[in-house]
Amino acid sequence: MQTNATLPQHQNLPFSSLVAVGDSFTEGMSDLLPDGSYRGWADLLAARMAARTPGFRYANLAVRGKLIQQIVDEQVDVAAAMGADVITLVGGLNDTLRPKCDMGRVRGLLEEAVERLAPACRQLVLMRSPGRQGPVLDRFRPRMEELFACIDELAARHGALVVDLYGAPSLGDPRLWDVDRLHLTAEGHRRVAEAVWQVLGHDAEDPHWRTPIAATPPPNWTARRTADVRFARQHLLPWIGRRLTGRSSGDGRPPKRPELLPYEETA
């Protein structure tokens, strides 16, 4: 795993473009902007890189709900053809949360994606996705860790960098996760952007992004039960319904930044 790898000398030149590939995590849910759109760590990272490099270009092809097969079919070749300096790829976690998940197939598709993307950019970035603590995700944790082991192996083979978010204590804190318990808050996305920024070789703006936020009194029993009921009604039951009917929250939704264009703030 290359979380702290030193970039080759030719990689020390400023990166002039970024393409983000993946699902809801990279689309930016649940870092909500006033206009109802999502920002997220990839937009935050692009803003930092653009501030350092005039003419910086950015595309974000990620769409919520996408499985690794859909990412390969719909995003990988598009991203590879853009010729960006940096490509980030985060995918496969949605597959691990499905009741029937063929991990051998997931690993094969992820390998296919990496093999196409690594030669198409100066630097490919992979991630060990963050894992919220709690009983719901614990049942899927062995699959998640199998996925992350595959990511480490592929990175070593193809010269990719790995951002280890799964091992960051701060990102396991439920307070950095939205009420749907699947997506990070704005503060969580900020910390992810910092993590990628540092792995790409930039000086730390927040050297303590891994450090958990200060402890606060836990909610009382009534508040916890109220939150559980709201979560089940607004998020868990609709999620189960989509799984049972084969639908996805991203069906028919285009990527928010489909072209590699000069970076501009969305809001």
Q: How many domains does the chain have?
A: 1
Residue 1 lies in a domain: no
pLDDT band at 15 (very low <50, low <70, confident <90, very high): very high
Q: 81-126: per-residue pLDDT in tens? A: 999 999 999 999 999 988 889 999 999 999 999 999 999 999 999 9
Residue 217 lies in a domain: no
Contact (Cβ atoms closer than 8 angstroms) between residue 113 and residue 68: yes
Residue 81 lies in a domain: yes
Query: For residues 62 and 75, what is the distance between their CA atoms, to the nearest angstrom?
Result: 8
Q: Minimal CA–CA distance to 20: which of 45, 2, 38?
A: 45
Mean pLDDT of 45-59: 97
Residue 114 lies in a domain: yes
Q: 212-267: per-residue pLDDT in tens? A: 986 656 666 565 565 545 555 554 555 555 555 555 565 678 999 999 999 987 54
**Strand 17-22 relative to strand 57-60: parallel, antiparallel, unpaired?**
parallel
Tell me the CATH number at 68. 3.40.50.1110
Residue 4 lies in a domain: no
Give 85's DSSP letter.
Answer: S
Tell me what pLDDT residue 14 has: 87
Residue 51 lies in a domain: yes
Q: In 3-state terms, what secondary structure has residue 127?
A: strand
Query: How confident is the prediction for the chain on average, in pLDDT?
Result: 86
Q: Tell me the residue range of the domain where 75 lies.
A: 9-212+222-262
